[in-house]
Each structure stands twice: as C-alpha cells, then as structure tokens.
Structure 1
Amino acid sequence: FFNVSDIPETKLTLGKNLNPDAIREGADVYFDCMVQAEPGVYKVEWRHNGKLLNHNVAQGIIISNQSLVLQGVSRQSAGNYVCVGFNTEGDGDSNPFYLNVLYAPSCRQNQTRVHGVAKQEKANISCEVDSNPPEVTFRWTFNNSAESMEVATSRIERHGTSSLVTYTPATELDYGTLLCWATNRIGHQRIPCVYHIIAAGQ
C-alpha cells in the first residue's frame, strides 16, 4: 500500500434499516458517508440538490461526524444527496443518492376553482393532484343546498394525476360544489379539491 497523498474517496449510503423504495413523508432518514483519505479529512459536507446543508435541529437536519439525519422528511426533502470529504489535497464528492419520498395525494395549487356554466351547457371540470406514487384513483361528490351525492364513475375520466368530470346543469339545484378526492397506496387525500359551479354571467 503506497502512502500516496490524494483527494478523499467518499461513498454515501442510506441507513441499513431503511428501504429506499418505502420512505414516506414523516419518516426519519439517515445517511452515512464512508471516507478513505490520506491525509485524513478535516471536514465532511452534505449537499441536497447541490445546496450545502447546515446542522439545524429546528429544521430536523442533524449532522454528526460523517452521518446525516433528516427528521420527519417532507416531499421537499426528495432529491439528490451527496457528501463531500475535504483534506489538504482537495475535496472528493460521493456518488449522488436520490431520495424518493412517498406521500398521499394533495390538491395541486393554481387550478380554476370557480366555473360559470349556463343551463344545458356542458362543462369539463378538471381536478389535479400531487401524488407520489402517481398511480391514483379518484372519487367525486356534488353538494348543493339540499343534498350531497356521489358522481357516477361513468362520468369520471382519469388522466394520470388529473381527473375530468363532464357536468351539465339542468336546474337550479345543479349549481353547487364539486369535491374531488384522490387515493394512492400511501393513503387518502385528507382535504378535497373544491370547485364551485355557478350560473354563467353571475
């Protein structure tokens, strides 16, 4: 074994007891950084999608020695993680590890929430969700001042993580609120997407 000075060789691994395909929102995740370096490393840094991570207990980021702990991961925690070892010869990046965080569906922002529709006019109401994994099923209900009822599956189309309902108001009672829920293998959407159907011109 030649005593050759060189930049550190680093290898990032996910904690032994963690299944990389089954990490859900709210889970605690830990990584180890294996470093071989001559001369030894004087520091190890961690990066998430290229951005330096700092020890921050309030945010659930705990860095100790050559380990990184992420407490209560969220969907924003997903992405590429790299550890970097520094010695007097330079710095060596590890392999990137892609952290995939699974979560139940939730309603996507910036959708059309109010639809003005005339009687006998056909309207297409679209419901879009964020979901990981993206395989989802949809359920719709219609609420007016008098009742709440399920929308027949024959009127529901699914396109990936969005669903389309064709809706034609016939009477005043057909104006109200459409609610859409999605489900994936992680769980049910907690808060439905809400769409208001009002008479056109109001």
Structure 2
Amino acid sequence: SAKEFTQSVFNHASSLPPVSSPVLRDDFRQTPSDVVVAAGEPAVMECIPPRGHPEPTISWKRNNIRVNDRDERITMRGGKLMISNTRKSDAGMYVCVGTNMVGEKDSDPAELVVFERPVFTKQPVNQVVLADDTVDFFCEVHGDPTPTVRWRREEGELPRGRFEIRSDNSLRLNQVRGEDEGTYTCVSENSVGKAEASGTLQVHGKTRVQNDIEFR
C-alpha cells in the first residue's frame, strides 16, 4: 500500500548517515613561526589549517598579497611554503590562508627576516708611494645587520701613532716609511657572515737631487 511504501522510504532515509553541513573552524592546528635566514639560504614556513569539511586548502599571503608559485624559487606543498634561494625582497609578514566552501581563515602572521652577509662596495687597492707620503686604503661595505669594520696588517701591528681609521672606515697612514710596507686587510663582519679584502703597500725612498758646485 501507499502507506507501507511511505513508511519504507522513511525507514531507509532515517538509516542513512546524516549529511554533514560544510564547516570551517577558527583555530589553526599549526600556525607559521618566524624565520630568520641569510640571503641565498632556503626558508621554510609550515602551517596546518583549521579543521573543516571539506578539508581546507592552503595558500599564502605576503604583506597581504597572494604568494605566487610561478616563481621557480617558491614551492607550496601541503602546508609548507618553501623558498629555495631567499632574497632581501622576500622578507615580510606571511599569513597562511585556509579555504573551503564556507570561506577563508587567516593564521596569525609570521615574519621572514632576510639578513645579508657583508659585501664590499669599495675595496683597498695596491699602492706604491714615496716615503713621507700620506696613504689612504678605502673600504666600504654593505650588509644587514650593519657590519663592523676593522683593519689589520698581515706583517704585525699598524704603524703606531701614524694611522687613523676615518669615519668612512678608510685607513689613513701618515708619513709612511719603508718599514710600513706590507699587506693591509679590511675585515668586515656581521651576525651572518664575514668578508676580508686586502691591499699592499710599497714605499720608495725619495730621491733628492743635489747640485754640487765645484769651485776650481
């Protein structure tokens, strides 16, 4: 009968598992952590999105702009964002985004800091001078954090009382002598690296031309 058929359909429907509604929870199971690297090194950020139905997909934003994996250095796999060869321009605030049909949830931001090893923009050069001259060895360096600069002489101490390290980090030698000959090295260092550059000094004695007048 129609009544029995209706009852049968009802019984069958009630035995089916309930159809779960789409859901996206608020709390990320793992939020990305801050990362500090030196330029050229790889960087990895990891995230596990909130539980959801359907299971959320993951994307990333840097400074509120979607990260694009068309850049061959960038790989997004599972919950990992991998940058193979970091540049200063990769630094910024990264957010993991979990998405399903309910909507999007953003993780707390994590910062990628990209430091740079010291790189010379001006290096000392080899010099040949006369005794008593003043000599400048230049050394300009770029890096982040700002590198320290110091000078050393490979053959021993810097000429005592006759050298000065100037505000531009150059080394000035006053009234040079033959004993000042040697190799002068600029040493630059910060928390992610160290660099050295050298120049040599040769000192020639001044020749004094004397006119001897011979009286006969």
Inter-partner Cα distance in structure 2 for 1:169 and 1:56: 60
The one of 56, 77, 89 equivalent to 2:102 is 89
Hey, what does 2:208 align to over in structure 1?
none
Q: Which structure dedicates a bigger proportion of its chain to strand?
A: 1
Q: In structure 1, what residue type is equivalent to 2:72? A: A
Q: SS in structure 1 opposite 2:72? A: helix
Partner of 2:78: 65
State the match for 1:52 in structure 2.
Answer: 66
Between the aligned partners of 1:91 and 1:56, the Cα distance in structure 2 is: 22
> TM-score of the superposition, structure 2-length normalised?
0.52
Q: Tell me, what secondary structure is at the counterpart of 1:101?
A: strand
Consecutive unaligned residues of structure 2, counting only runs of 5 or more, are 1-20, 123-133, 177-183, 198-216
Distance 2:24 2:76 in 1: 25
SS at match of 1:163: coil
Tell me which structure has the larger Cα radius of gyration: 2
Q: Which residue does 2:27 correspond to in 1?
A: 9
Distance 1:12 1:167, change over 3 A: farther
Equivalent residue number for residue 204 of structure 2: none
TM-score normalised to the size of structure 1? 0.54
Does the CA contact (< 8 Å) of 2:32 and 2:96 recur in 1?
Answer: no
After TM superposition, give the deviation of residue 4 of structure 1 in Å: 9.0
Give 1:180 shift: 5.6
Superposed CA offset, 1:132-185 (max 9, x none): 3334223489xxxxxxx99x59855577xx635568899xxxxxxx99652234
Query: What is the percentage of aligned positions where both structures have the same residue?
Result: 20
Q: In 2, distance between residues paired with 1:5 and 1:132?
A: 45
**Bigger mean CA deviation after superposition, 63-72 or 126-135:** 126-135
Match of 1:80 among 55, 79, 93: 93
Q: Is the contact made by 1:29 and 1:69 (CA closer than 8 Å) also made in structure 2?
A: yes
- Corresponding residue for 1:106? 119
Q: Distance in 2 between matches of 1:156 and 1:79?
A: 40
Q: How far apart, in 2, do the equivalents of 1:156 and 1:43 lie?
A: 61
Instruction: Decide whether the 8 Å contact of 2:24 with 2:53 is kept in 1.
Output: yes
The one of 194, 200, 203 equivalent to 1:188 is 194
Equivalent position amino acid for 2:27 in 1: E
What's the RMSD between the two structures over aligned residues? Answer: 5.0
With a CA cutoff of 8 Å and minimum separation of 6, indicate the structure with the bigger relative contact order.
1
For residues 169 and 82 of structure 1, the distance between their equivalents in structure 2, rounded to whole angstroms, comes to: 60
Structure 1 position 136 matched with structure 2 position 155: no
Equivalent pair of 1:13/1:33 in contact (CA under 8 Å): yes
Alpha-carbon distance in 2 for matches of 1:130, 1:31: 28
Cα distance per residue 1:93-138 (max 9 Å; x no partner) = 111111223332124x7x9xxxxxxxxxx9x998553323334223
- Cα distance in 2 for partners of 1:13, 1:156 equals 49
Q: Distance in 2 between matches of 1:9 and 1:129?
A: 46
| Counterpart code for 1:182 | S
